[in-house]
Structure 1
């Protein structure tokens, strides 16, 4: 699996799955733009890539701001001339309650980041891929909760179902131009801020979900990152419009 001479953009690359994806893409030979709101952390990821002999730059981006996304794609193109792969990993989860107890502001905030943010990233990433003559791979971060639901967290479930829809529609629209759009749908992944914070702030909340994983444990960041890297590579050249669960068999039940 090689991405030698490919240019990759990782949005949400400062930590968790995004950070893992940036490191894995670089290890496969890609030149990587690592972007998130926390630019200092992005610089740390870029430094780690360069220390391992790879090429990377860091950039700040707020996925809820259209101009930020457009400028971010331009950064990749100005630096390396093109964009071949894009990973849209930015996301938040704040609704740990039944839908009747959720507030409007939480809904608006999560939709702005998880759904509109993914839409804006795809819009400008795909525009660049079309502009340079077609070809490329976009990988969105969904969740097994983009396939199924839970009694609580309805807003998060809704955002991930929306990401699945955006992924499939874009895949159909740009398939003949050689642009593939897929998603990964992980189960509980330790080593991510979202899961680690939930475990810290809501003890026991994740226990039923972990117990439901046939593999008997949560996923690890690097396991999801390797799947993302494969989807970005030519080894997955005929995989398009797919949401690939990384779930230890959980959705097979």
Structure 2
């Protein structure tokens, strides 16, 4: 969604640069042909068939592991730098300043900023944005580029806010259902009730798995075993 908005907004946001991968070429191993005629033992100790191939393969595997390690270190460093940049940015409280803040935000960071600024993206914010768009559209000399930026920003933010709300609901709903199930005296009856309402889904099972792992890590074996039994019972009604 962010990529679509970025493409249509002109100079609204910068697009991500595509990573380029480097191709490797694998050398072919030499093979020493065996001979049954060797009276003077000239070929004694010759490399076994495929030995060079195996050594080259092991060398390549070691090189791949080293490359993977460096990539992990690079990714960790990039994540740290990104977090520092995010912490350094302070979203303004004034609506008019917040509009400009979003216009200056690069495309890859828009989803993060929408989630962070969600409490400020209320009806009064969108009402102000609509007024800005109206004033620009009916100005004596409309700035078409600015008008396109504002309209694109409004459309993007409305879709992004809706996506954030759905994501939040996706996280909260399984927690509510799990709490209801665990606190029920008649768990079988609640399971049947949830199954009839199609409430036993993958997010609920995943949440059970997280709780099982947490209880196991905390050495709460009784609680872990209890939730395993709940999970097994719930799996019979899992919505595919």
Q: TM-score, normalised by structure 2?
A: 0.22
User: Which structure has the greater CA radius of gyration?
Assistant: 2
Q: Which has the higher helix share?
A: 2
More strand by share: 1
